[in-house]
A = this chain, B = another copy of it.
């Protein structure tokens, strides 16, 4: 049989995008499992964490900061507000906007979730030394930076 392996000697398993995808998928699974204990999902954590760090913001702003679509922000904020982790109030200065603020309960939850995330992180990076973790972070950051501004 003319088993002429094209130009991919070792196939998928060495393709950077494949490796990225797989490791990211694994990381996401770890996070997702952690979040499940809080009965929340990734979107909720991103929003909560951003609110805890950067303070109140409009939904559109939140979406931009978290990389979440406006329409998806609506639903997630609904959930968070329904749990009292967040408050949605009309912006008197601009009646198109809602100002979203984190509540004390929300701050607590954010802190707990951050701990969960940190555990997942440690688990994920277990096989890497400190230097290697730094390397990885640097490389990924470079990639992200390069591609996010075009």
Contacts and interface: CB of A to CB of B under 8 A. Distances in A.
Interface of A: 1, 3, 5-12, 14-17, 19-28, 30-31, 46, 49-50, 52-55, 66-67, 110-111, 114, 117-118, 120-121, 124-128, 132-133, 135-137, 139-148
Contact of A23 (B12, B31, B67, B144): B144
A53 B10 contact: yes
B120 A17 contact: yes
A16 B49 contact: no
A52 B22 contact: no
B67 A22 contact: yes
A114 B7 contact: yes
Contact of A143 (B10, B120, B128): B128
A24 B26 contact: no
A32 to B, nearest CB: 11
30 contacts: A5-B52, A6-B111, A6-B114, A7-B118, A8-B49, A8-B114, A11-B49, A14-B141, A16-B125, A16-B133, A16-B140, A17-B31, A19-B140, A20-B20, A20-B140, A21-B24, A21-B28, A22-B140, A22-B144, A23-B140, A24-B25, A26-B143, A26-B144, A26-B147, A26-B148, A124-B143, A124-B147, A125-B143, A132-B142, A139-B139
Contacts of A127: 142-143, 145-146
Contacts of A9: 53-54
